[in-house]
Amino acid sequence: RYQTVLSAPASLRQRIEAVLSRNQLDPAPMMRMKPWMLANVLALFEAAQAGYVPGLSVEAYLLRVAKTDSKPILEFEGIEQQFELFEKAPWATQIAFLEEALKAVESRGARRELNRIVQAWEAADRGSLERLLAEMRAQSSVGSRFTVDTILLGRHPQMVRKIETMMASGKTYVFAVGALHLVGPQGLVELLRARGFTVTER
């Protein structure tokens, strides 16, 4: 059965409506979304409010470079695969994920966390990224555990298999992933090293 935010607890709906109204967003279409989808919309909105423009992202830059040089662009991980992770989540987990996103908007925590990631990435500060990931892993709420265990770390085994398959061709590839996918004992760097790859950091 297709369930939307309208099926969420009344107290949560009231908080959502308050945040949307405060930011001059029409609650009507938002409340018809699935909880996980609204959570992601809130995260994207916070990023935009903090000044991060999708058109100026690293991904957008790499796409422009590839197209300019007539390089093929391959799908490392499709959006359908990512959506499927959310779709398979139980209703209670989706609600918990939405609550985490909402709390981050209410407290401005989402902006602070995003700024920390960007600043660490700009400075190539692996230690800061590892500390941030460790803080995320230390959180015990259902929403936080879903974010870390499923949305972040849970995707790594399939990513590694895809990298292995592509590298077996002997060709050279550029793989673009988010900074938090690279660090930690379950990050892509360590997983690839465990599979016999030589990974150097510059």
Residue 164 CB neighbours (<10 A): 13
The size of the chain, in residues, is 202
Model pTM score: 0.87
Question: Where residue 1 falls among pLDDT bands split at 50, 70, 90?
Answer: low
Q: Which residue has the tokens 């590694």?
A: 160
Torsions phi, psi of 94, nearest 5? Answer: -60, -40
| Digit-coded pLDDT (tens) for 114-142 | 999 999 999 989 999 999 999 999 999 99
Q: Interior CA angle at 20 toward 15 and 22, to 5°?
A: 95
195: Cβ contacts below 8 Å, ≥ 6 apart: 160, 164
